[in-house]
Amino acid sequence: MVHPFGDVPRQTPKQFLYSGNSQHHCHPYQSASNTHVVPQRHYTMRSHSPDAGSEDHENHKQYTLDSSAASGCSRHGSPSSQSVHAGSGSPVSHEDSHSGSTNGNGSPVSASCVTEDPTDLKRKLKDLEAVMLGTDPETVNSLEISVADQLSLEPEEWKHMMSMPKGNLKELLIACARAVEHNNSYAIDLMIPELRKMVSVSGEPLERLGAYMVEGLVARLAASGSSIYKALKCKEPRSSDLLSYMHFLYEACPYFKFGYMSANGAIAEAVKGEDRIHIIDFQIAQGAQWISLLQALAARPGGPPFVRITGIDDSVSAYARGGGLELVGRRLSHIAGLYKVPFQFDAVAISSSEVEEGHLGIVPGEAVAVNFTLELHHIPDETVSTANHRDRILRLVKGLSPKVLTLVEQESNTNTAPFAQRFAETLDYYTAIFESIDLALPRDDRERINIEQHCLAREIVNLVACEGEERVERHEVFGKWKARLMMAGFRPSPLSALVNATIKTLLQSYSPDYKLAERDGVLYLGWKNRPLIVSSAWH
């Protein structure tokens, strides 16, 4: 007998979909003016095409000072901000010069004066100049230029500059997100150039993810509305290429197989003994999930049942497929014919949030199974509009009296969290995803770069850059999904031990860092200690 939860043949996943005109240019971000220093900088989106390499191009900067020209000025703490002794020409650090100098009254100059009032700081530095440099106007002017931009900072700006994380990419990313949340243009101007030096599409997992997180921040600053989602300047691949990238991702990591197999197992058990089965799939994509289920149903003692699949999908997946839902229907009909399963496919070419009961063609006597694999988080809820399609769709489905509803979702809290918290959650979640990809594909592998760029980057940018209706990535943790489902009238249907055992067998082909956990009949797939995907069944 064919195993009812056997591995899905190598097909395309349906989580990360690419659409739209990727050549849309973002608007320039003009930083806010400071009282004394006016940074005039344009942030532009970076192309992370493999052909372009990972070399960073420096942003051009111009500073206008109230006391002197800015040419050659340096930031506090940089090697170029050392003083030069007039007699020997040797560099003398700020620390050395402070500890060994006196002011005009013979008192030592405080080494901590940089934290004091800027006006007082100017006076003390003038005293220090007189002691160290004498009255040579050329040398004095050189020192004034090197510190002029620092002297003109407001106390609050000093605080941000001194507290900016140094060398820690994760901390700097989070600090920059906080600056964006609070519209702190000075801190943003400091951090974005530093971050761009630290990230690379061919580096460590965090460096690669950081490249897209930074572009998300710049997109958030640069534009609004639908253009933000398209602001990442990646060359849009042909549909056949995108299909290939998605296939690589499907094979490299077990996330999609875990979702498909666990959902199929729950459906197979729920419709056991039924002669007519109607599967309603929200976001059917390529239809790959149903191949193994058709195979399993074909092996039933006494012959296979009649199977009808209603596939719901919008134009986003149509681009990846290279055509409409009729392609999915022909493909599944062909496979059903090979297995001698009586089959019918109905296409509903609309977005999931637009579905009404009349679209589903419910027929009395059919056992209904409804599938949400990595799709329900795309349906807007009450925080987006009063229509609250997320809960409306669940109530609609409950009204169909299905034998089972299967839910596979990402275990992440990005729906209602404030921006900085959402940014940190996205960073944590996708760090685990990028680490798992890192294990499967070499860092200099062009296909790995394409996978991350075309299958993951756009949803990362959407999470970071977009708000309101334009933010389509709105994940919730399982506890929130459970509350929604139970309010709609559903009750849990624990996944069986057979499904659990089947997933364990699947994971034997992957790294031991993938972890499977079961809690109250719900399966969690994670990377190391981070849960990533959750699968559950309801009736």
Segment 213-226, tens digit of pLDDT: 999 999 999 874 34
Element (H, E) at 15: none
Residue 337: exposed, middle, or buried by beta-carbon count in 10 A (0-12, 13-18, 19+)? exposed
| 154: nearest Cα among 178, 130, 119, 123 | 119
pLDDT value for 17: 33
pLDDT value for 237: 64
Element (H, E) at 178: helix 169-181
Q: List, in sequence order, every residue forming a beta bridge with 367; answer none if it has no partner.
A: 277
| 149: nearest Cα among 41, 36, 62 | 36
Q: Rounded to whole angstroms, how far apart are CA atoms 249 and 266?
A: 24
Is 280 strand, coil or helix? strand
Residue 179: exposed, middle, or buried by beta-carbon count in 10 A (0-12, 13-18, 19+)? buried
> C-alpha dihedral over 393, 398, 402, 404, to 10 degrees?
80
Report the alpha-carbon angle 136-140-142, nearest 5: 125
Query: CB within 8 A of 163, min separation 6: which ones?
Result: none
Give the β-pairing of 42-43 and 83-84.
unpaired
pLDDT value for 223: 73
**DSSP per-residue codes, 266-278:** HHHHHTTT-SEEE
Q: Rounded to whole angstroms, how far apart are CA atoms 365 and 271?
A: 12
Report the alpha-carbon angle 127-130-133, nearest 5: 135
pLDDT value for 238: 65
C-alpha distances in angstroms, 437 versus 11, 13, 198, 228, 539? 18, 15, 20, 26, 35
Which residue is it, tokens 């599938």?
371
| Model pLDDT for residues 118-146, shown as the tens digit of each residue | 555 555 555 554 555 454 555 445 444 44
Q: List, in sequence order, every residue forming a beta bridge with 20; answer none if it has no partner.
A: none
Structural domains in the chain, CATH included, are 150-232+418-471 (no CATH), 253-411+475-538 (3.40.50.150)
Q: How many helices (H) and strands (E) does the chain have?
A: 19, 12
| 277: nearest Cα among 318, 239, 305 | 305
pLDDT value for 130: 53
**DSSP per-residue codes, 109-139:** PPTTGGGS-HHHHHHHHHHHHHHHHTT-HHH
pLDDT value for 58: 41
Please say whether the beta carbons of 521 and 529 come within 8 A. Answer: no
Is 524 strand, coil or helix? strand
pLDDT value for 164: 64
Q: Rounded to whole angstroms, how far apart are CA atoms 527 and 455?
A: 19
Q: Give pLDDT < 50 ranges for the chain.
A: 1-44, 47, 49-116, 129, 133, 135, 139-140, 142-153, 158, 224-226, 228, 231-235
Q: Rounded to whole angstroms, how far apart are CA atoms 134 and 140?
A: 8
Q: Rounded to whole angstroms, how far apart are CA atoms 255 and 525?
A: 8
pLDDT value for 1: 42
Q: Where are the beta strands (DSSP E) in 180-288?
A: 276-282
Q: Rounded to whole angstroms, how far apart are CA atoms 301 and 295?
A: 13
